[in-house]
Amino acid sequence: MRESREIRVESRLSISWFKLAHQFWISYPPPTAAGSSTSAKEKEKEKEKILEEERKVHSKEQRQLEYDIAIKEHHRSQREQWEIRQLDNDLLQQRHSEREREREQKELAEQRMLVEQTGTQAVSSTAAASSNIAASSFDQDDYKLQMLCRAPIASLDCMEEFSAGSALSALADRGGPGDSAITKEQLLLSGLTHSAPAGAVPLQLAKQTSVTPGLRYRNLGKSGLRVSNIGLGTWPTFSPNLTEEQAEQIIVLAVESGINVFDLSEAHSGTRAEVELGRILSRKGWKRTSYIVTTKIYWSTRSEEKGLSRKHIIESVKASLLRLQLSYIDVVIVHKADPMCPMEEVVRAMHYVICQGWAMYWGTARWSPVEIMEAYTNCRQFNCVTPIVEQTEYHMFCREKTELYMPELYNKIGVGLMAWSPISMGFTQSRDDGSGSGGGGSVQLFSRASFKNKYSSFSWTEDETAANKECPSYGWMKDRLQPDESRRQAEKIRELNTLAEKLGCSLQQLAVAWCLKNESVQCLLLGASSVDQLYDSIQSLQLIPKLNTNMVAEIERILENKPSRPPMVSTLALR
């Protein structure tokens, strides 16, 4: 029994150990050949992926290299083509210049032959006719300066050939000692009259294209618009006292002298100036690029058409275009700031007018430096077109704004300067100043109807007329009304008149030349009520070189009104 029990126990133990070994064998099977083959395939796949990526990178680099080579080749071919075209253009220009020189030489030879064929009889008849015209039109004793040549339209883009001028010079120089009356000026006058006798020199030979001596073209402000250093202010030209034919003669003389600026206003003679100038420009058919038209808005004889509202600005510009018969106005001038209209509305309206193509530029007139800076700041803030010019009064008795503040505005914000009233609105018009308390000029100035109309009837508010009397710009007028100041002003004018006689010119010419001597004045507006008056003013250009340092110092000694800034006072010193 005991042995059988031991046998049973051993058999049970062996069976349990067998089951344990079987379970271990099932749970942890030995490695086989199939598992090793799977890991090898995975390694091969990884190698293939790496090789594929390397092939892609290599192909990409190869394509980039080919692209760079193609770009370099394309640039090289383009550079070669450009060099070939440049050589061709240079060759064409050289041939064109040679043909032009040949043509000019041929024309000059033909003109010389034509002048030689006219003969002594043609020269004598032309001289007789021109001398009669010159004697009736101009008094040679009153013009001690060199006579000017009257050139046709003299602008930067419509200059003609200069051969006609040389032909005229040769014709004038042919006269011997007995023909001293035959001068170049007389030949020019005979050509301008369109009434030369038979056998005389043709009119095309009398066309002189050289610019008036002393006339210069300058950029207006820091813009690209080039203007002549003198312009024509049309306020007296289109006054009711002159006919349209007389005004046309003045306009023609201005254009032929090289002046390309015509200043207008919607209030000049009740819009008559714009209407008549438009008709004159239409009849003459001058190139639109050869002249510059400026017009001013704000003033009006009707109360509902005043101010600088957006409505009035746009309507005024469109009405001026209709009256002038033009497609655009070169410069629209805002005449005086409107205290009852926001500055933002003004600059936005001017920007709209320019964007519509109705105007090229805009500027201001009779604005204070603070108002100009305010307009400039608003333009920068709202991305609008900035003003390029300020029209201000400038003469020997009104100097502060022009000489102290305008140069600073030009350097800071690029606003140029157009000056008007160089002879003090007729203040220096009279050469004969009496010894009375008022002087000859004072009665003329303050009794002129045009002066009264300009400074009394055109007012925006009821208080404006009184405010103008307190304006520093017109302090010299108030002083002129005082007896003591009147005598001092008359004495200054007499001394200036004596100085002008020493220079061989008139007092008006000295005043104009003195204004042009200031480099800040880019364009000086001259008024003229007759051809003789405009011609006399144009002659002032020849006087500018004579105003040297000593002469300017002498004028300053006589005037005794050179402006200067007040001294800077520290706020600490005031405490």
- 139-196 pLDDT, tens digit per residue, is 444 434 444 444 333 333 334 333 344 444 444 444 443 444 444 344 344 433 333 4
**What is residue 398's three-state secondary structure?**
strand
Q: Domain spans of the chain?
A: 56-210, 217-429+507-559
CA-wise closest residue to 237 among 224, 225, 254: 254
Rounded to an integer, what distance in angstroms lies between the CA atom of residue 116 and that of residue 456?
Answer: 62
* Residues 453-467, mean pLDDT to the nearest whole number: 39
| Ramachandran sector of residue 359 (left: φ over 0; alpha: ψ -120 to 50; beta: rest) | beta
Most confident of 119-128, 253-262, 263-272: 253-262
- 534-547: average pLDDT: 94
Q: Is the pLDDT of residue 44 over 60?
A: yes
Specify burial of residue 219 (Cβ count, 10 A radius: 0-12, 13-18, 19+): middle
In angstroms, rounded to a whole number, what is the distance separating the alpha carbons of residues 374 and 510? Answer: 36
Q: Do 354 and 385 contact (CB within 8 A), yes or no?
A: yes
**By C-alpha distance, which of 444, 407, 448, 451 is closest to 428?**
444
Q: How confident is the model at residue 257 (pLDDT cuts 50, 70, 90)?
A: very high
- The architecture CATH gives domain 217-429+507-559: Alpha-Beta Barrel (3.20)
Q: What pLDDT digit, counting tens, does each position of 296-346 carry?
A: 997 655 666 678 999 999 999 999 999 999 999 999 999 999 999 999 999
* pTM strictly above 0.85: no
Q: Supply the pLDDT for residue 33.
A: 55
The C-alpha atoms of residue 441 and residue 397 are separated, in whole angstroms, by: 14
Which residues are within 8 A (CB) of 430 and not within 5 positions of it... i.e. 6 or more apart? 440, 441, 444
211 contacts 541 by C-beta, under 8 angstroms: no
- State the CB neighbour count (10 A cutoff) for residue 430: 19
Degrees to nearest 5, angle at CA 100 with 98 and 103: 110
For the record, the structure tokens of 74 come out as 């394309």
Place of tokens 């090789």: 51
Amino acid symbol at 131: S
Residues 260 and 248: beta-carbon distance below 8 Å: no
Mean pLDDT (whole number) for 241-262: 94
Contact indicator for 253, 531 with CB cutoff of 8 Å: yes
163 within 8 A of 109, measured Cβ to Cβ: no
